[in-house]
Amino acid sequence: MSDTTQSRTNTQTLSLGTALAIIFGVTLWRVLMLLINRTDLFVDEAQYWFWGQNLDFGYYSKPPMIAWVIRFFNTISGSDSTFWIRISAPLFHLATALMLIVTTRRLFDGEEGREIAPWAGVIFITLPAASLSAVLVSTDTIQILFITIAIWAFIGLTRRSSVSEALILGISLGLAFMTKYSVLFLLPGVGIALLTLRSARIAWRDVAIAAIVGAIVVSPNLWWNLTHDAATVKHTQSIARWSTGDSGTGPLKHLLNGLSFVGAQFGVVGPVVFYALLWATWRLVRGQSDDREKLLFWLSMPVVILIALQALFAKAYANWAVAAYAAGTILAVWLLYRLTKKGLVTSLIIGAVVAIVIPVLTVFALDVKIPNGDLVMKRYVGRSVVSLEIADIATTAKLPDIVASDRAVLADLFYTLKGKPFHIYARNFGGFPKNYYEQDFSLPADVTGPVLFVDSDPITCAEGQAELIKSWSPPFGDMKGTTLYAYRVPASCLAPKP
């Protein structure tokens, strides 16, 4: 099958104007749906918001970029409503889709580039992962924009030396790192591309400029880690640790974990796009790829492969491979454009349906249920109800100091009870803190009176002074079926054990 000639007869033309109308239309839909979104902030979202109230160069589990972004939108709007906390998500996706169009045009010259570029934008804006992350605020949404900018600059540097584009490359990679450390998964593929593709090499001067600038950008976070017991690094290691086998598991379990991660990618970017990426992998193995296809492969699929290997031995969430899908989207679109008639249209239809449905689900989050009676959006509702119940208990018991150990409970307490006359603390268990709240907002030693302690497990104080005020189970949401206990206890009961 020929390439360019066949594509013109097999692929439906998508004009730039039509593509922009789709991209801006999808973005407008997402913004309007955010206005009437009925979900609570998810645990991570509430934590990111709280980080934004306490600006720093690093935090317990992530670099600082997402906190800065949320704080920016809260500041310009004068509001910390869920809408203004989340509004960056659809806007960043809009910027990434536009940047992918520009980047595709830079990589593919002439008519081919003009025809492929609009598809890259519309396919990205309708990826299932983009549709889900557009109704939440997450690090992935921010990071993929910086990665796309870095790819644009890198492609330009492969053609001509440029101080300005070397600066852009360094800054964008640095900002991607300041958003999420997973950008480091790109480095092996970049290294292979530089070693194996003459067309992917850039001037040593540009490499040096980008490296120095990138190091300057990330240095505040590295310094923060040095002065905070390497908290983010240790947390990252703890959630991504490799293991030769956990108790009760064997080789089959590890294999299934790896296959589960790979299978999940069909949901992350859609079945057609991920199939195209697997197809591109097969073409590379068989020696059928040209240099542009190889470059896009090395800037994308090694990320998926590395994290799939991680999944064989330890934990790996499906979204960890998102860094692959800037170059990966362009690669899939180009391959589908050249070699199939219906792939791009099919992918767009599937993505468009998801893009419409997910925002609707957030509006009817308290109504739409699955056959077993659980809400479809159960993970994203019911959290504020728990916090308000705790506030009522604390008010009735005249206990303004509230202590909890569960990160999910603490995250929503700080958000839902903001501005109310309570002091919220995390229980300090001693040793390396288990979360951000224990790290920076532990119950201080100077609080000696009785406090309200809320947990999902009963507590017994050594002094025998724990008074159970109430136990209850939330009526709906992620904590439905969990029994919560509210105790009046002396602060000393919650002190770290020696």
Within a domain: residue 369? no
Q: Please list the alpha-helical segments (H only) found in 134-270.
A: 139-157, 163-179, 186-196, 204-227, 231-239, 251-268
- Closest among 433, 490, 428 to 465, alpha carbons compared: 490
Same domain, yes or no: 315 and 436: no
Is the pLDDT at 182 greater than 70? The verdict is: yes
Within a domain: residue 70? yes
Q: Which of 363, 398, 421 is the last residue of a domain?
A: 363
Residue carrying the six token digits 């300041």: 178
Residue carrying the six token digits 């969990």: 482
pLDDT tens readout for residues 332-351 = 999 999 888 689 999 999 99
pLDDT tens readout for residues 217-242 = 999 999 999 998 887 777 776 666 54
pLDDT attached to residue 91: 98
Structurally, how many domains does the chain consist of? 2
Same domain, yes or no: 172 and 24: yes
**What are the phi and psi torsion angles at 402 (to 5°)?**
-110, 130
Query: Residue range 173-202: average pLDDT?
Result: 95
Same domain, yes or no: 357 and 403: no
Same domain, yes or no: 178 and 304: yes
pLDDT attached to residue 59: 94
Pairing of strands 484-490, 450-455: antiparallel
Torsion region of 157: left, alpha or beta (phi above 0 gives left; psi -120 to 50 gives alpha): alpha
On the 0-12 / 13-18 / 19+ scale of CB atoms within 10 A, 282 is exposed
Residue carrying the six token digits 């000393």: 492
Same domain, yes or no: 342 and 430: no
Q: What's the domain range around 452?
A: 382-494
Residue carrying the six token digits 């791009």: 344
Check residues 250 and 470 and name the one with the higher pLDDT: 470
Same domain, yes or no: 148 and 91: yes
pLDDT tens readout for residues 281-332 = 999 999 999 999 999 999 999 999 999 998 888 778 888 999 999 999 999 9
Same domain, yes or no: 182 and 265: yes
For 340, the 3-state DSSP assignment is coil
pLDDT attached to residue 12: 62
Contact 420, 374 (CB under 8 A): no
Distance between CA atoms of residues 104 and 82, nearest Å: 34
Dihedral over Cα of 213, 214, 215, 221: its sign = positive
pLDDT attached to residue 249: 57
pLDDT attached to residue 252: 77
Q: Please list the alpha-helical segments (H only) found in 269-382.
A: 271-285, 291-298, 301-313, 325-339, 343-363
Distance between CA atoms of residues 70 and 198, nearest Å: 41
Same domain, yes or no: 112 and 165: yes
Within a domain: residue 374? no
Within a domain: residue 423? yes
For 485, the 3-state DSSP assignment is strand
Same domain, yes or no: 465 and 328: no
Q: How many CA atoms lie within 13 A of 276 on its CB side?
A: 30
pLDDT tens readout for residues 195-208 = 999 999 999 999 99
Q: Which of 2-11, 76-85, 477-486 has the lowest mean pLDDT?
A: 2-11
pLDDT tens readout for residues 236-245 = 766 665 444 4
Same domain, yes or no: 353 and 390: no
Within a domain: residue 376? no
Residue carrying the six token digits 């991660």: 261
Same domain, yes or no: 357 and 413: no
Within a domain: residue 368? no
Q: How confident is the model at residue 107 (pLDDT cuts 50, 70, 90)?
A: very high
Is the pLDDT at 470 greater than 80? The verdict is: yes
Residue carrying the six token digits 């970029």: 65
Within a domain: residue 258? yes
How confident is the prediction for the chain on average, in pLDDT? 91
Same domain, yes or no: 58 and 30: yes
pLDDT attached to residue 248: 46
pLDDT attached to residue 373: 85
Assigned token pair, 193: 């591309």
Q: Is the pTM of this model over 0.85?
A: yes
pLDDT attached to residue 235: 75
Is the pLDDT at 30 greater than 60? The verdict is: yes
Is the pLDDT at 246 greater than 70? The verdict is: no
pLDDT attached to residue 146: 98
Q: How confident is the model at residue 157 (pLDDT cuts 50, 70, 90)?
A: very high
Q: Tell me the C-alpha to C-alpha distance, in Å, between residue 432 and each of 404, 427, 438, 439.
A: 17, 13, 9, 8
Residue carrying the six token digits 């904590």: 479
